[in-house]
A and B are shown apart, each in its own frame.
Chain A
Amino acid sequence: MQTAKQDIIQQLQKEVLSMQRLKKVSGSILNTGLWEVEKAFPDQTFPVGAVHEFISNAKEDAAATNGFMAGLINKLMKKGTAVWVSSKRTLFPPALKIFGIEPERIIFIDLWLQKDVLWAIEEALKCDAVSAVIGELSELSFTESRRLQLAVEQSRVTGFIHRYNPKSENITACVSRWKIKPLASDISGIPGTGFPRWNVQLLKVRNGKPGTWQIEWSAGQFKHVTRQTYSLTEIQKRKAG
């Protein structure tokens, strides 16, 4: 009886996911190496073919966010091409190599106007030949994010929107919202700086459980440092949905 019930629940969950077009596409399971983080997502897999939102407020956070994103993109693009749309870009291409990305495989589109950035992101997301699209902008309204979501539902491209210093952290149609902050690196006993280490905060995730993790990038892989699960209050949980 009990197992039958669970089966029904699982079946229904899958149906809900497919209705939300978050169904796993066969063969596109992303091996991010973020075992703990992946548990937060529906179906225990990192959603590809969706738009993820990252928010950063300080320059240091922005660099950490781009680093974390670069790690994810590396897993995503393998041998493909990614498009990086931004206004006022400070990203230094050679550093991408540290995160396993061949910098020449990234096509940068540098624009001035917010409107143009959004248009270019949408066009790039519609093109199913690119592996990932990264958009750096500050404001993203709900309607705009909905457009991006509709674009990826057709093309199955994964989008990353990095919002630097937004005026308000408004609701968007993105599948998740992240905040990445740098953490002090740790190399005990040896002087000097260590591997990049971040506090990865998953604030919102559709049909998943938000959480916070500490992650390090070393030897071309993500690594969990220590697991810290915050028990979220009921209000936060509701917000996340």
Chain B
Amino acid sequence: MRRYVAIWFRHLKTDWMVRRQPELKDVPFVMAAPEHGRMVIRAANTAAQAKGIDVSMVVADCRAILPGLQVFDDKPELTEKALSALAGWCLRYTPVVAVDNLDGLILDVSGCPHLWGGEKPYLKEIITKLRGFGYDVRTAIADTIGTAWAVSRYGKITPMVEHSYQLEAMLPLPPAALRLEAPILERLEKLGLYQIQSFINMPRKALRRRFGQTILTRLDQALGQEYEVINPIQPVEPYQERLPSLEPIRTATGIEIALKQLLEKLTARLNKEEKGLRKCMFKCYRIDGIVQQIEIGTSRPSRNVAHLFKLFELKIVSIAPALGIEVFTLEATIVEDISAQQDALWDFTEGGNGTAIGELLDRIAGKLGADTIHRYLPDEHYWPERSVKAASTLAEKPQTRWRTDLPRPIHLLRNPETIEVTVPMPDYPPMLFRYKGELHNVSKADGPERIEQEWWLNQGLYRDYYCIEDEKGARYWLFREGSYEHGDPKWFIHGFFA
């Protein structure tokens, strides 16, 4: 069960000002910025709001309402700065804190409140602490980000939404609680839909047609039918191991021992969680303050110490220990689940040897580069150069069959090479041809096989392919570009048959 806390700072900017200048506490003041040649209010404190002065009013009008109104220049970068500082402070309550769109914070508090003796004391603690700083906050706790956000902004009953009571909490709230854009809200209001309960039971199709997909997404997110991700200020990096050394380490053997220990620790943890690593970074902190690092990647998730060690081993030479290394860290930057399903996907070897081959390819990719490894699948093109495509993964299977009905040479030249030929008459195979200065007398020939250019990909002349056998028994694949009707066509050699 996930639980989220939404914190709303109602007067973030003005509260921040008051914290810097306590004498402003009970004085009505606003922060304004020029817009179209007028000063428009961007933030107003509680005292100003009590006098009827609010955001997006013009300063001159407000001065008419309240002559003693203090006006400060707006600091646009302030919100972000203050919020990220507050988010950092909130890390004491949960490791996952995210800044929420300019006026609040979202905390993923799953599994945290019991440390404060339950959700109620937990929320109370957060509120009192923040209010103690002088921030006017409202909070709510719920199963989803959407509900927590809505209740913190618009809730009137209780900030605590019980587990799986999102729907009940959302029903009486206004549509604005769904975090919708202004035009949609306006349309809803025009139609007299002032509460979520007045449209939540409408057919989804109708809602989508009138208000777009957003409204459905937001509803699903609030009710927990769609997962919503937050962007934590401190990304979760749990797969990290650290090994300090008593004395600075300077030898390759020492580094290897450290690496092995770290790998064992890390893989033990991965084993427990049924995960494997795809990318791993080994960092060596030298005593002179310089960090040396090596990184490896695997073609499929792995937690095999020997294999991972081998991958690192190829790169250990690049570490310069200089005066010595005091701390080693090993961090798995990308971790994926190892599931039985994935093994099945790889299993084109049928013997279940996929892991060993994957490890072999990792070693090769680690040393020589991943771009050196190719696997080919058939592609639905007649044009010989396009009839194969490189497989993007090792598990990819052919979508179409390999064709065997037409002769294809075992060696194909990357670029066809020009040859000189003697042809008895048009559309006949050559009698003899000269390739690289050597004359070949043709004794047998098959063809032509005409392959047209695929006009949607490339423009040009068609090719007439002939399989040729010369008097020595060597077999070639030749083609003529175009026909004799339009001038003198060129002849090329394109491959060698076995």
A residues adjacent to B (C-beta < 8 A)? 58-60, 62-64, 66-68, 70, 79-81, 83, 90-99, 102-111, 116, 119-120, 123-124, 127-130, 181-185, 191-194, 196-198, 217
Residue of B nearest to A120 (CB): B364
* Chain A residue with Cβ nearest B412: A92
In the assembled complex, which residues on chain A have CB atoms less than 8 Å from the CB atom of B374?
107-110
Chain B 4-23 interface residues, beta-carbon cutoff 8 Å to A: none
Q: Establish whether residues B357 and A130, one from each chain, have CB atoms under 8 Å apart when the complex forms.
A: yes
For residue B3, CB closer than 8 A to chain A, the reply is no
Chain B residues positioned under 8 Å from A181 (CB to CB)? 473
Q: A63-B498, A104-B376 are in contact. Are A129 and B361 (CB under 8 A)?
A: no
Q: Quick one: which of B351, B364, B373, B404 contacts A129, CB cutoff 8 A? A: B351
Separation of A184 and B471 alpha carbons in the complex (Å): 7
B473–A90 CB distance below 8 A: no
Cβ contact within 8 Å between B357 and A129: yes
The tally of CB-CB contacts under 8 A between chains A and B is 179
- A-B pairs, 9 with minimum CB distance: A67-B498, A129-B353, A129-B356, A63-B496, A60-B474, A92-B412, A184-B473, A192-B446, A127-B360
Complex CA distance for A81 and B394, rounded to whole angstroms: 11
* Residue in B360, B368, B376, B388 whose CB lies within 8 Å of A111: B368
Contacts of A116 on B, CB cut-off 8 Å?
367-368
Q: Are A62 and B402 in contact (CB under 8 A)?
A: no
Q: Residue B496 contacts which of A62, A94, A98, A110 (CB distance < 8 angstroms)?
A: A62
Q: Is the CB of A104 within 8 A of B357?
A: no
Q: Which residue of B lies closest to A66 (CB)?
A: B410
Given A103-B376, A116-B368, A185 and B409 contact (CB-CB distance below 8 Å): no
Classify the secondary structure of A's interface with B. mixed
Interface centre among A63, A182, A192, A194 (most CB of B within 10 A): A63
A91 to chain B, nearest CB (A): 6
The answer to whether B402 and A97 have CB atoms under 8 Å apart is yes
Q: Which residues of A contact B81 (CB under 8 A)?
A: none
B472–A182 contact, CB under 8 A?
Answer: yes
Answer yes or no: B210 CB below 8 A from chain A CBs.
no
B373 touches A109 (CB 8 A): yes
26 contacts between A and B (CB under 8 A): A59-B411, A60-B475, A60-B496, A62-B411, A63-B409, A63-B497, A79-B349, A90-B414, A95-B410, A95-B412, A98-B498, A99-B498, A104-B377, A105-B349, A106-B375, A106-B376, A107-B374, A108-B375, A109-B368, A120-B364, A129-B349, A129-B357, A182-B472, A182-B474, A184-B443, A193-B446
Contact across chains for A182 and B377 when beta carbons are under 8 A apart: no
Write the nearest CB–CB distance from B479 to chain A, whole angstroms: 14
Please, which residue of chain A has its CB at the minimum distance from the CB of B367? A119
Q: Is the CB of B475 within 8 A of A102?
A: no
In the complex, the answer to whether A102 meets B402 with C-beta atoms within 8 Å is yes
Which of B404, B467, B474 gathers most chain A CB within 10 Å? Answer: B474
Contact of A103 among B360, B373, B402 (CB under 8 A): B402
Asked if B324 is at the interface (CB within 8 A of a chain A CB), the reply is no
Alpha-carbon gap, A68 to B495, bound state (A): 17
A63 to B407 Cα, complex, angstroms: 14
Q: Mark B373-403, 1 if CB is under 8 A from A, else 0.
A: 1111110000010011001001001100011
Residues on the A chain within 8 Å of B364, using CB: 109, 120, 123-124
Shortest beta-carbon distance from B412 to chain A in Å: 4
| Closest chain A residue, CB of each to CB of B468 | A193
The digit string for B438-456, where 1 denotes a CB below 8 A from any CB of A, is 0000011110000000000
